[in-house]
Amino acid sequence: MVRIYHNNRCSKSRATLALLEQQGGPVEVINYLDTPPTASELATLLQQLGMTARELLRTGEAEYQSLGLASLSMDEAALIAAMVEHPKLIERPIVVANGKAALGRPPEAVLAIL
C-alpha cells in the first residue's frame, strides 16, 4: 500500500497523486490538514525521509514567523510539535511506500520508493 500525505489545494500534491494513481496500485490518501500526523508519526516520517524537522518546515507560512520557528534555539521536538499543531507548516506531499518515504518535489521523486 502506498500512502500520500496530501493537500488537494497544492499543485505538486495533486500531480504526485495523479502519478501514483497511474502506477495502478492502491493509494491511501491522507488529507493531512484535516488529519495531521501525531508527533510520533511525524518523527517516523522524518526518519524515513532522512530529513530533520527544520528541513520539512514550510518557511513561507505565516505561522513560521509568528511562532518564531526560525530561531535556532527551537529543538527537533519543538519543531515537530509546531507541525502537529499547525499542519500547514509540513512540506508536501509526502509519499510512503515499502518502508521508505519521499517528498513529491518534483512529483517524479516518489518513483524511487515504489
DSSP H/E element including 12: helix 11-22
**Catalytic residue among 3, 10, 31, 109, which?**
10
Per-residue b or e along 79-109, where b marks 16 or more CB atoms closer than 10 Å to that residue's CB = bbbbbbebbbbbbbbbbbbeeebbbbeebee
What is the identity of the amino acid at 42? L
- Whether 60 is a known active-site residue: answer no
- In angstroms, how far is CA 2 from the centroid of its own chain? 14
**Which grid cell is 2?**
502506498
Which residues are known catalytic residues? 10
